[in-house]
Chains A and B, each alone.
Chain A
Amino acid sequence: GAVVSQHPSRVICKSGTSVKIECRSLDFQATTMFWYRQFPKQSLMLMATSNEGSKATYEQGVEKDKFLINHASLTLSTLTVTSAHPEDSSFYICSASPPGWGSLAKNIQYFGAGTRLSVL
Protein backbone atom coordinates (compact mmCIF):
# COMPACT_ATOMS: atom_id res chain seq x y z
CA GLY A 1 0.00 0.00 0.00
CA ALA A 2 0.86 3.67 -0.07
CA VAL A 3 3.52 4.85 2.36
CA VAL A 4 3.64 8.13 4.20
CA SER A 5 6.77 8.94 6.13
CA GLN A 6 6.83 11.43 8.98
CA HIS A 7 9.90 12.82 10.64
CA PRO A 8 10.94 13.22 13.38
CA SER A 9 9.09 10.64 15.43
CA ARG A 10 9.83 12.44 18.65
CA VAL A 11 11.12 15.87 19.53
CA ILE A 12 11.78 17.56 22.83
CA CYS A 13 12.38 21.27 22.77
CA LYS A 14 12.57 24.28 25.01
CA SER A 15 9.72 26.73 25.26
CA GLY A 16 10.01 29.46 22.66
CA THR A 17 11.77 27.44 20.00
CA SER A 18 10.29 26.41 16.66
CA VAL A 19 9.93 22.83 15.54
CA LYS A 20 9.53 21.57 11.98
CA ILE A 21 7.81 18.30 11.20
CA GLU A 22 8.06 16.74 7.76
CA CYS A 23 5.50 14.57 6.02
CA ARG A 24 6.49 12.75 2.84
CA SER A 25 4.55 10.56 0.49
CA LEU A 26 7.10 7.99 -0.58
CA ASP A 27 5.51 6.25 -3.53
CA PHE A 28 2.84 8.61 -4.74
CA GLN A 29 2.25 12.28 -5.35
CA ALA A 30 -0.11 14.03 -3.01
CA THR A 31 -1.60 17.36 -3.97
CA THR A 32 -3.35 17.39 -0.63
CA MET A 33 -2.09 16.34 2.76
CA PHE A 34 -3.71 16.68 6.13
CA TRP A 35 -2.37 17.52 9.55
CA TYR A 36 -4.01 16.20 12.70
CA ARG A 37 -3.35 16.68 16.36
CA GLN A 38 -4.03 14.18 19.08
CA PHE A 39 -3.96 14.81 22.80
CA PRO A 40 -3.36 11.86 25.14
CA LYS A 41 -6.22 9.38 25.15
CA GLN A 42 -8.24 11.56 22.82
CA SER A 43 -9.20 11.41 19.20
CA LEU A 44 -7.50 13.03 16.27
CA MET A 45 -8.55 16.52 15.40
CA LEU A 46 -8.00 17.91 11.94
CA MET A 47 -5.83 21.01 12.11
CA ALA A 48 -5.36 21.96 8.51
CA THR A 49 -5.41 20.86 4.93
CA SER A 50 -2.14 21.32 3.12
CA ASN A 51 -2.45 22.12 -0.59
CA GLU A 52 0.51 21.86 -2.93
CA GLY A 53 1.38 25.21 -4.38
CA SER A 54 -1.18 27.19 -2.44
CA LYS A 55 -2.04 28.28 1.07
CA ALA A 56 -3.15 25.77 3.63
CA THR A 57 -6.71 25.71 4.86
CA TYR A 58 -6.96 25.84 8.61
CA GLU A 59 -9.75 24.52 10.77
CA GLN A 60 -11.57 26.87 13.05
CA GLY A 61 -9.60 27.64 16.16
CA VAL A 62 -6.22 26.69 14.72
CA GLU A 63 -3.80 29.61 14.56
CA LYS A 64 -2.21 29.78 11.13
CA ASP A 65 0.66 31.92 12.40
CA LYS A 66 1.36 29.40 15.10
CA PHE A 67 1.25 26.35 12.89
CA LEU A 68 2.94 27.18 9.61
CA ILE A 69 2.32 24.75 6.78
CA ASN A 70 4.34 24.57 3.62
CA HIS A 71 3.52 22.18 0.79
CA ALA A 72 6.23 23.05 -1.69
CA SER A 73 6.25 19.80 -3.64
CA LEU A 74 3.90 16.96 -4.47
CA THR A 75 5.62 14.68 -1.99
CA LEU A 76 6.42 16.92 0.95
CA SER A 77 4.44 18.96 3.42
CA THR A 78 5.95 20.53 6.51
CA LEU A 79 4.34 21.74 9.71
CA THR A 80 6.29 24.24 11.77
CA VAL A 81 5.20 24.88 15.32
CA THR A 82 6.48 28.38 15.95
CA SER A 83 7.49 29.61 19.38
CA ALA A 84 6.37 26.37 20.93
CA HIS A 85 4.96 26.35 24.46
CA PRO A 86 4.12 23.50 26.80
CA GLU A 87 0.47 23.56 25.76
CA ASP A 88 1.60 22.70 22.23
CA SER A 89 2.89 19.37 23.47
CA SER A 90 0.91 16.78 21.59
CA PHE A 91 1.02 14.02 19.01
CA TYR A 92 0.96 15.38 15.48
CA ILE A 93 0.04 13.11 12.58
CA CYS A 94 -0.07 13.77 8.87
CA SER A 95 -1.92 11.87 6.21
CA ALA A 96 -2.33 11.82 2.46
CA SER A 97 -4.53 10.13 -0.10
CA PRO A 98 -3.02 8.65 -3.24
CA PRO A 99 -4.44 10.08 -6.45
CA GLY A 100 -6.63 8.04 -8.73
CA TRP A 101 -8.78 6.51 -6.01
CA GLY A 102 -11.84 7.99 -7.62
CA SER A 103 -14.92 9.54 -6.14
CA LEU A 104 -16.29 6.30 -4.72
CA ALA A 105 -13.29 5.33 -2.64
CA LYS A 106 -11.81 8.72 -2.06
CA ASN A 107 -10.49 9.79 1.24
CA ILE A 108 -8.85 6.57 2.27
CA GLN A 109 -5.94 8.20 3.95
CA TYR A 110 -2.54 6.83 4.71
CA PHE A 111 -1.01 8.12 7.87
CA GLY A 112 2.48 8.87 8.96
CA ALA A 113 3.72 7.30 12.17
CA GLY A 114 3.25 10.57 14.02
CA THR A 115 5.49 13.00 15.86
CA ARG A 116 5.37 13.33 19.60
CA LEU A 117 6.25 16.87 20.56
CA SER A 118 7.21 17.65 24.13
CA VAL A 119 7.83 21.29 24.98
CA LEU A 120 9.63 21.89 28.25
Chain B
Amino acid sequence: SQQGEEDPQALSIQEGENATMNCSYKTSINNLQWYRQNSGRGLVHLILIRSNEREKHSGRLRVTLDTSKKSSSLLITASRAADTASYFCATDAAGGGADGLTFGKGTHLIIQP
Protein backbone atom coordinates (compact mmCIF):
# COMPACT_ATOMS: atom_id res chain seq x y z
CA SER B 1 0.00 0.00 0.00
CA GLN B 2 1.13 3.53 -0.58
CA GLN B 3 2.54 5.52 2.26
CA GLY B 4 2.61 9.25 2.53
CA GLU B 5 5.64 10.84 4.06
CA GLU B 6 5.61 14.28 5.52
CA ASP B 7 8.51 16.52 6.23
CA PRO B 8 9.52 18.04 8.42
CA GLN B 9 8.42 15.75 11.22
CA ALA B 10 8.38 18.71 13.57
CA LEU B 11 8.33 22.42 12.92
CA SER B 12 8.52 25.26 15.42
CA ILE B 13 8.01 28.83 14.27
CA GLN B 14 7.06 32.19 15.67
CA GLU B 15 3.51 33.42 15.51
CA GLY B 16 2.90 35.39 12.36
CA GLU B 17 5.40 33.44 10.27
CA ASN B 18 4.40 31.10 7.48
CA ALA B 19 4.58 27.35 7.95
CA THR B 20 5.23 24.97 5.08
CA MET B 21 4.81 21.22 5.29
CA ASN B 22 5.49 18.74 2.55
CA CYS B 23 4.09 15.34 1.72
CA SER B 24 5.17 12.66 -0.72
CA TYR B 25 3.34 9.55 -1.83
CA LYS B 26 4.08 6.54 -3.94
CA THR B 27 1.20 5.55 -6.19
CA SER B 28 -1.43 7.14 -8.39
CA ILE B 29 -4.15 8.92 -6.50
CA ASN B 30 -7.64 10.31 -7.00
CA ASN B 31 -7.07 13.15 -4.62
CA LEU B 32 -4.96 14.26 -1.70
CA GLN B 33 -6.27 15.70 1.49
CA TRP B 34 -4.80 17.45 4.47
CA TYR B 35 -6.09 16.88 7.95
CA ARG B 36 -5.33 18.48 11.26
CA GLN B 37 -5.21 16.73 14.61
CA ASN B 38 -5.03 18.43 17.95
CA SER B 39 -3.30 16.38 20.61
CA GLY B 40 -5.33 13.31 21.52
CA ARG B 41 -8.28 14.30 19.37
CA GLY B 42 -9.89 13.20 16.15
CA LEU B 43 -8.95 14.55 12.77
CA VAL B 44 -10.44 17.57 11.11
CA HIS B 45 -10.54 17.83 7.34
CA LEU B 46 -8.79 20.95 6.06
CA ILE B 47 -8.66 20.80 2.32
CA LEU B 48 -8.89 18.41 -0.62
CA ILE B 49 -7.05 18.79 -3.88
CA ARG B 50 -7.92 16.64 -6.84
CA SER B 51 -5.33 14.90 -8.94
CA ASN B 52 -6.00 17.23 -11.87
CA GLU B 53 -5.52 20.35 -9.77
CA ARG B 54 -2.20 22.03 -9.04
CA GLU B 55 -3.06 24.54 -6.38
CA LYS B 56 -5.91 25.31 -4.06
CA HIS B 57 -6.58 27.96 -1.46
CA SER B 58 -8.79 28.03 1.59
CA GLY B 59 -8.45 30.99 3.91
CA ARG B 60 -4.90 30.99 5.22
CA LEU B 61 -4.21 27.59 3.70
CA ARG B 62 -2.57 27.00 0.37
CA VAL B 63 -2.06 23.51 -0.99
CA THR B 64 -0.08 22.52 -4.03
CA LEU B 65 0.03 19.18 -5.77
CA ASP B 66 2.67 17.94 -8.18
CA THR B 67 1.58 14.56 -9.50
CA SER B 68 4.75 14.17 -11.56
CA LYS B 69 6.78 14.30 -8.35
CA LYS B 70 4.05 12.68 -6.28
CA SER B 71 4.27 15.43 -3.73
CA SER B 72 2.14 18.07 -2.08
CA SER B 73 2.75 21.01 0.17
CA LEU B 74 0.59 22.75 2.74
CA LEU B 75 1.31 26.38 3.50
CA ILE B 76 -0.25 28.11 6.47
CA THR B 77 0.21 31.85 6.25
CA ALA B 78 0.31 34.28 9.16
CA SER B 79 0.38 31.46 11.68
CA ARG B 80 -1.41 31.70 14.99
CA ALA B 81 -0.84 29.94 18.29
CA ALA B 82 -4.09 28.07 17.70
CA ASP B 83 -2.56 26.47 14.60
CA THR B 84 -0.41 24.33 16.87
CA ALA B 85 -1.34 20.75 15.97
CA SER B 86 -0.25 17.78 13.91
CA TYR B 87 -0.93 17.91 10.22
CA PHE B 88 -1.36 14.83 8.06
CA CYS B 89 -1.68 14.35 4.36
CA ALA B 90 -3.92 11.52 3.23
CA THR B 91 -4.38 9.91 -0.12
CA ASP B 92 -6.89 7.58 -1.69
CA ALA B 93 -5.75 5.28 -4.41
CA ALA B 94 -6.86 5.80 -7.97
CA GLY B 95 -9.35 3.24 -9.18
CA GLY B 96 -12.54 4.19 -7.45
CA GLY B 97 -14.43 2.48 -4.69
CA ALA B 98 -14.98 3.47 -1.10
CA ASP B 99 -11.47 3.07 0.19
CA GLY B 100 -9.98 4.09 3.46
CA LEU B 101 -7.32 6.73 3.37
CA THR B 102 -3.58 6.24 3.64
CA PHE B 103 -2.03 8.76 5.96
CA GLY B 104 1.43 10.20 6.07
CA LYS B 105 3.42 10.28 9.26
CA GLY B 106 2.46 13.84 10.02
CA THR B 107 4.16 17.09 10.85
CA HIS B 108 3.90 18.38 14.38
CA LEU B 109 3.63 22.14 14.15
CA ILE B 110 4.31 24.36 17.13
CA ILE B 111 3.53 28.05 16.92
CA GLN B 112 5.30 30.04 19.55
CA PRO B 113 3.53 33.19 20.71
Q: Which residues of A contact B (CB under 8 A)?
A: 4, 6, 31-32, 34, 36, 41-46, 49, 59, 91, 93, 95, 97, 103-114, 116
Contacts and interface: CB of A to CB of B under 8 A. Distances in A.
Contact of B40 (A34, A44, A49, A91): A91
A107 B103 contact: no
Contacts of A114: 40-42
A43 B103 contact: yes
Contact of A44 (B1, B31, B88): B88
B42 A46 contact: no
A111 B42 contact: yes
A104 B50 CA distance: 8
A103 B31 CA distance: 11
Contacts of A49: 98-100
27 contacts: A4-B42, A31-B98, A32-B98, A34-B100, A36-B100, A36-B103, A41-B108, A43-B4, A43-B105, A44-B43, A49-B100, A59-B100, A93-B42, A95-B101, A97-B98, A103-B96, A104-B50, A105-B48, A107-B31, A107-B92, A107-B99, A107-B101, A109-B101, A110-B45, A112-B42, A114-B40, A116-B40
Interface residues of B, number: 27
Contacts of A104: 50
Interface string B14-39: 00000000000000001101010000
Contacts of B92: 106-107
Contacts of A105: 31, 48
B88 A43 contact: yes
A42 B43 contact: no
A105 B100 CA distance: 14
A42 B78 CA distance: 27
B67 interface: no
